[in-house]
Amino acid sequence: MKITLYYFKIPFWRAEVTRLSLYIGDIPFEDYRIQGDDYDKFKKTGELPNKKIAPFKQLPVLDVDGKIFAQTGAIARFCGKLSGLYPKNDDYKAALIDQIIEGAQDINYLVTLSGRDKDTERKKIARDILATKHLPKWFQFLENLLKQNTKSIYFVDHDLTIADLAIWRLLGWLKSGMLDGVPTTILDNYGSLNKLREEINKNPKVIKWMDQVYGKTI
């Protein structure tokens, strides 16, 4: 099976959940990062470097033996099944993982909405509401789910899944200081989320990936 993941040249959770899942599972894949002319063409027409058109003119897109499909969750699940980080025969466990990925989508959407206004003053207010109301509410939901799983520090059962990787990278972005109006202390009050982050930061394959691809831990 030949797998190519198309995404932009950034370590964003939408792609990183799949890149890391494949890397952890020792599944070979091409990590195609769209930039330069490829990027301009994609932005104008939705055309990918393999000449196919992205179904929603968005990334990520996965190419599996010449067949393509999009959407972060669909791609992460497909690759998670290959790498052993998503169940093949346990619908309930799969749904528990799915709800976290969908939660990540909801959080991402709130962040996107809060950054849309071109008016600086209105954007500042939107970001303030994001940082003081929306994010704390969603972090608490995630914190509760982590606490409910008494089997491990992960979201579901005993082991790492794509749910953990998605939230790990999403949280890394949210507390990075890159988002205007969202302080780097935003996660300080969430013990279980921090434990999850620390554990994944210590994962030898994650360390190796980060070092090899980005030259640092992010």
Ligand X SMILES: N[C@@H](CCC(=O)N[C@@H](CS)C(=O)NCC(=O)O)C(=O)O
What residue ranges bind ligand X (CB under 6 A)?
Answer: 12, 14, 57-60, 71-72, 105
**Burial level of 133, CB count in 10 A (0-12/13-18/19+)?**
exposed
Nearest to ligand X of 58, 140 (CB atom): 58
Pairwise CA distance, residues 8 & 190, whole Å: 30
Nearest to ligand X of 11, 60 (CB atom): 60
Nearest distance, CB of residue 193 and ligand X, angstroms: 22
Q: Which of 165, 146, 127, 186 is nearest to 11 (CA)?
A: 165
Nearest to ligand X of 43, 195 (CB atom): 43
3-state class (DSSP) for residue 56: coil
3-state class (DSSP) for residue 165: helix
Nearest distance, CB of residue 188 and ligand X, angstroms: 26
Nearest to ligand X of 105, 152 (CB atom): 105
Nearest distance, CB of residue 75 and ligand X, angstroms: 7
Strand runs labelled E in 48-174: 61-64, 67-70
Nearest distance, CB of residue 198 and ligand X, angstroms: 26
